[in-house]
């Protein structure tokens, strides 16, 4: 996924140095229909690919989502065997991405934020690329935490000891991997496998916004004084303590 960094400059007045944005149903509204289409595709996968009883699929889909954070994780834990790429192609490959249009207002809002910005999605890298591209936000984020990040394929053996590092990797497609994603979630006090949050409107979250447009009014501290950073930067998007 080609997510071009917004540059290394930081506004000296910013309170935080890195912001973690959820992708789905955050950068675009529920009214696009992607959420419902995704659920429908997951249920069809369960029915057609895993031969789960049709009458059980809706209940099981919801219960696994609530218990595991994603239905896919729940299915894996119950012992269902299927290829991850096949699942993502079936569930996300058929989504109505045409419903997503360029979003210049959000783009300007994001670019006005002085912090480095990272995207999070439980979906795969291809889905993140589709969404950001269609919204016109590809260059608003420095990296993405996605399914491949949270479920990395073990790397091949490295011949040279000089190549051994901290285990933190950033590939050419700007996917944040390894210890970086763990650090981000620990810093944000989030469980990436259980991302259902709340407040008065959404139980568990500090703030619940009807639209991301309201973020400046709801969280003016984003534009406040910079905290001393706990991050250091090595090559490209390799972050470590």
pLDDT tens-place string over residues 76-129: 999 999 999 999 999 999 999 999 999 999 999 999 898 889 999 999 999 999
- Note the Cα 146 to chain centre separation in Å: 5
Query: How many CB atoms are located within 10 Å of the residue 66 CB?
Result: 12
pLDDT beyond 60 at 223: yes
CA neighbor of 144 nearest in space, from 118, 170, 117: 118
- Ramachandran category for residue 67: left, alpha or beta (phi over 0 → left; psi -120 to 50 → alpha): alpha
The residue with greater pLDDT, 17 or 204, is 17
Q: How confident is the model at residue 179 (pLDDT cuts 50, 70, 90)?
A: low
119, two tokens? 């995207």
Torsion of CA 36, 41, 45, 46, to 10 degrees: 10
Rounded Cα distance, 216 and 223, in Å:
8
Query: Which domains does the chain possess?
Result: 18-30+104-240 (3.40.50), 34-91 (1.10.150)
Rounded Cα distance, 237 and 184, in Å:
13
pTM over 0.75: no
55-59, Cβ contacts within 8 angstroms, sequence gap of 24 or more: none
């Amino acid at each position: 996924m080609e997510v071009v960094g917004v540059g290394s400059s930081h506004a000296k007045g910013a309170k935080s140095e890195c912001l973690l944005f959820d992708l789905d149903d955050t950068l675009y509204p529920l009214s696009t229909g992607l959420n419902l289409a995704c659920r429908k595709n997951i249920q069809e996968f369960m029915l057609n690919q895993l031969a789960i009883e049709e009458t059980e699929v809706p209940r099981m889909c919801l219960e696994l989502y609530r218990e595991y954070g994603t239905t896919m994780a729940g299915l894996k834990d119950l012992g269902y065997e299927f290829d991850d790429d096949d699942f993502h192609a079936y569930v996300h490959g058929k989504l109505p991405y045409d419903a997503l249009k360029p979003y210049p207002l959000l783009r300007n809002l994001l670019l006005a934020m002085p912090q480095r910005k990272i995207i999070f999605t439980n979906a795969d890298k291809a889905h993140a690329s589709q969404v950001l591209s269609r919204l016109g936000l590809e260059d608003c984020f420095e990296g993405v935490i996605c399914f491949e990040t949270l479920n990395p394929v073990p790397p091949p053996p490295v011949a040279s000891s000089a190549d051994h590092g901290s285990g933190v990797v950033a590939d050419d497609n700007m996917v944040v991997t390894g210890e970086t994603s763990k650090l981000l979630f620990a810093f944000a006090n989030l469980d990436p496998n259980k991302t259902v949050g709340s407040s008065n409107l959404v139980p568990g979250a500090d703030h619940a916004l009807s639209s991301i447009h309201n973020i400046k009014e709801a969280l003016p501290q984003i534009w406040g004084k910079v905290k001393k950073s706990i991050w250091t930067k090595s090559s490209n998007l390799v972050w470590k303590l």
